[in-house]
Structure 1
Amino acid sequence: MDLEWSIRHLCINRKITTPGDVARPLSGVLVGVQSLQLTGRPRLIVPRKVPSRALSSNVALVNGGMRLFLLGLPLPLSLELANQLTYAAAVLVLVVSGVAPCRLSGGDHGRETAPGWLLRIQRKIENVRKDVSRLTSFIQAGNPRLFTRYPVKSSDEAAALLKSKKMELLALSARIRRYKDNIKRKQQNQAFRENERQFYHSLGTQEADCSDQTRPGMGALHDFWSGIWSEPFSVSRHGWIEREALAYQDVQPQEDAVITPELFQLAVGRLPHWRAAGPDSIRPFWLKKFSALHPALLRIFQRLLDSEVVPPPRFSLGATVLLPKKGDLSKPQNWRPITCLPSMNNFSHL
């Protein structure tokens, strides 16, 4: 069963009102998720347009259904299956909320669009610019009466109307700047309340020209970082490791750590809701909200900590994004790599 087919089927028949209605569609989406590679999943959208109360209600509905679904699965749950279940449940929540969870082929579902107020003002600006262009052409042709959109009878009236249209264009442009400044001010206030250090860092970072002409090619980036990380090097010990081992030989070894439910919930609370997803396309919000999986995840991470199991290598894969620094952006060394690991990988390190 294809994942896209499962999503389209759910969008048509999304009659899920009780937790008992969740098992069948969840298993259908899960089969579609299992048919894909970890890095081949569609990127789930952030449900900004869904009211928070509706989203919380739908999360609780799917979470209750997942508790019933887990009763029929063999335990212990594997890390891979828990990851697939989280993604499938997130898809189900988005579908029940009435939004397309990702961009499907043949449509624009999930595409990020500009806010409505900006689109309305941009349409007004486009119409005013057309009027300015027509008025200018008609005035230069010496026959302003050709401009039939407005009752213009003389060149003086046409010139006055042209001036009025240019002033309207400036006013609309100023309105966009004012709205954007207001939104930026609110975002900065929120960033200051949540993380002062990151806020001051963002103030000192200037926007750089990141056009395609300034970006280095993939070959240059690969050669630059391969020269740093792929070249073998030797470490000069000079006996310092032996001295450190001798200095701490009386220190008692640490007891085996036990992850209690309280520590687990504390780690869950530290995760930012909508941190960028890694190759698994799962944001921390879904891991935090699907509490039905928390007991299974606690057992999985405890076994990982006790080295009873080894996580699959694909859970160490990351999606690397290059952020511009200062200087010539055509040089690879002026780009800072940031790697987004799978959310469950970050989850296990808290």
Structure 2
Amino acid sequence: MIEQPANVDAAVNTPVVVDSNDDGTVSQELELEHMRSRLEEAIVETRSTSLENRPRLPRIALSKRNRAVVRALNPMLVTYLEASRDLCETDSILFGAALAVCRIIGAKVSTAGRATGHRSAIPAWRRRIEERIAKARALIGRMICFRSGNNRPRIVCTVRMAFAGTNVSLSQPDITQKLTERIYDLKQRIAAWGKRIRRYTERSTGFNQNRLFQSDQKRLYASLERPIVSGTGPAPNQADTVAFWRGLWSESVNHSEGSWTEVVASQCAGITPKDPVIITPDDVAEAVRRAPNWKSTGLDGLHHYWLKGFMLCHSVLARQFQEALDQKSLPSLFTGITHLVPKDQDTQTEM
């Protein structure tokens, strides 16, 4: 009874057993050696790959086996993290470890780069329904042509396939009535599919409006009152846009400071300076704990789930973030790209 908890912990912490008939210790050592080699391969591969060409990491199931694999790889990262020199190298190590976990558990990893793998905003089920509607409309058109006397081989073949599996023959005398019934049935199906899409659209719109009402009511009311812009107006000239913003941000301007600056300086002289910010591993752990697991990633493509699983990186991240804060510089990994999107058709005149 006393040794039972230790045995249970050992069984839970064991990553994967190769063969239950073999000796448990040998199987575990072989499995750990296999994981170590996969980790080394993934880290080396990630270091030689640019950010935009990294594969897209999938969302893995939160199962006991997957957690066991992450726990097994966590202590193996000590050697790599201790030798890490900056945040970019640490991020590369963590991404390689996440890639190794996905390959060990057999998760499907996209081989194409994240820059080319754009995901459609339309759900897959809606695309399938729209394809069915398009095929049904094409079939209705062929059947109407056949009913009006068009007997071309392609149309006849299509109509014959439409009645496949039934006792209807194209040579029977009541074929016109059968065609009319079949066309009516297809139209009813198209109407049902269209209602399904409209129900989804209305439900999605209502859900988004309710969520926006809880976060920003002013923005919701503005979106309801503002007319919908189709976006067909002329876009602003790219050269003029670049010149406009470059004149605001790139050219140095000598400002003439007035006497108010001396008044503000005298008023702020008695303010106690704020204590310097010290980033600790607990701060990193708390920030990671509150972050959603599978929130959209940044340029590195690494989800928060991996920062939670590889807990040994918290101390390294705290030290490297502190160094970046003291040096007042961040690597290019934390920079983003800003796209200028015209909000309405008056953008040209405002500029």
TM-score when normalising by structure 2: 0.69
Residue 259 (structure 2) aligned to one of 205, 219, 239:
239
Distance 1:142-1:73 versus aligned 2 partners, 3 A rule: closer
Please state whether the residue corresponding to 1:104 is helix, strand or coil. Answer: strand
CA distance in 1, matches of 2:243, 2:338: 16
Report the Cα distance in structure 2 between the residues aligned to 1:333 and 1:64, rounded to whole angstroms.
59
Which of 22, 33, 56 matches 1:44?
56
TM-superposed deviation, 1:26? 2.2
| DSSP 3-state at the match of 2:112 | coil
- Using the TM superposition, give the Cα deviation of residue 217 of structure 1 relative to its aligned residue in structure 2, in angstroms: 5.8
Partner amino acid, structure 2, of 1:29: A
Aligned partner of 1:282: which letter? L
Report matched runs for 1:4-19 at 5 Å. Answer: none
Summarize the alignment of residues 79-90 of structure 1 with structure 2, pairs less than 5 Å apart: 79-90=87-98
Counterpart position of 1:127: 135
Q: CA deviation at 1:117?
A: 3.1
Corresponding residue number in structure 1 for 2:271: 251
The offset of 1:310, in angstroms, is: 6.0
Please tell me whether Structure 1 or Structure 2 has the larger radius of gyration of its CA atoms.
2
Aligned match of 1:175: 196
Q: How far did 1:45 drift?
A: 4.8
Could you say what secondary structure the match of 2:278 adopts?
coil
> How has the CA–CA distance of structure 1 residues 283 and 296 changed in structure 2, closer, same or farther, with 3 Å as cutoff?
same
Give the aligned partner of residue 343 of structure 1.
none
Q: Give the distance between the partners of 2:111 and 2:83, measured in 1 at CA.
A: 34
Which amino acid in structure 2 is aligned with residue 181 of structure 1?
E
Cα-to-partner distance string for 1:186-224 (whole Å, 9 max, x where unaligned): 5666x46xx82257636744765457x855565454333
Query: What is the aligned residue count?
Result: 304
Whether the aligned pair in 2 keeps the contact of 1:103 and 1:111 (CA below 8 Å) is no
C-alpha displacement of 1:128: 1.6
Q: Which amino acid aligns with 1:78?
A: D
Tell me which amino acid in the other structure corresponds to 2:91.
Answer: N
Q: How does 1:206-221 map to 2 (within 5 A)?
A: 208-209=229-230, 215-216=235-236, 218-221=238-241
CA distance in 2, matches of 1:319, 1:236: 33
Q: 1:31 aligns with which of 44, 61, 82?
A: 44
1:133 shift after superposition:
1.0
CA contact (8 A) 2:284 2:317 kept: no
Whether the aligned pair in 1 keeps the contact of 2:57 and 2:110 (CA below 8 Å) is yes
SS at match of 2:148: helix
Amino acid at match of 1:25: R
Could you tell me how far apart the structure 2 residues matched to 1:133 and 1:231 are?
Answer: 63
- What secondary structure is seen at the aligned counterpart in 2 of 1:31? helix
Report which stretch shifted further, 180-189 or 243-252: 180-189
Sequence identity of aligned pairs in percent?
Answer: 23
Aligned residue type for 1:246: S
Per the alignment, residue 318 of structure 1 pairs with: 336
In structure 2, how many angstroms separate the alpha carbons of the residues matched to 1:45 and 1:333? 43
